[in-house]
Amino acid sequence: MPTPILMPALSPTMEEGTLAKWKVKEGDKVSSGDVIAEIETDKATMEVEAVDEGVVGKILVPAGTEHVKVNAAIAILLAEGEKAGDAGAAPAKADSPAANGAVHAPLASKPA
């Protein structure tokens, strides 16, 4: 089943942000830990990493889009064997992102 990639919250008070840049394109294979996008707020820019592996089936929110709500679907991740046409079957929003494993967290700063 296609998995929505959701707009992450970079802080507990964040309600929306800007999807600054995609680091992947439709059809790209991703693994857990791969950087897939950059998210901006008025205070910071953070890289977002994939927590699942699969193929980017459809990008729903173009790069440069402002005011993207936290937990809104920004792309669809397909499992092995799924086709891009299956991406349309994914919900636009997840009621419980943590329950379906679709939460994508910002990449934490790495110690020097």
pLDDT at 92: 43
Domain-embedded: residue 69: yes
Domain-embedded: residue 83: yes
Asked if residues 19 and 61 have their Cβ atoms less than 8 Å apart, the reply is yes
pLDDT at 80: 82
Domain that holds residue 46: 3-89
Q: Kindly give the parts of the chain with pLDDT less than 70.
A: 84-112
Degrees to nearest 5, angle at CA 69 with 67 and 71? 155
pLDDT at 47: 94
Domain-embedded: residue 11: yes
CATH number of the CATH domain containing 60: 2.40.50.100
pTM of the model: 0.74
Q: Where are the beta strands (DSSP E) in 23-96?
A: 29-30, 35-40, 45-49, 54-59, 65-69, 73-78
Domain count, the chain: 1
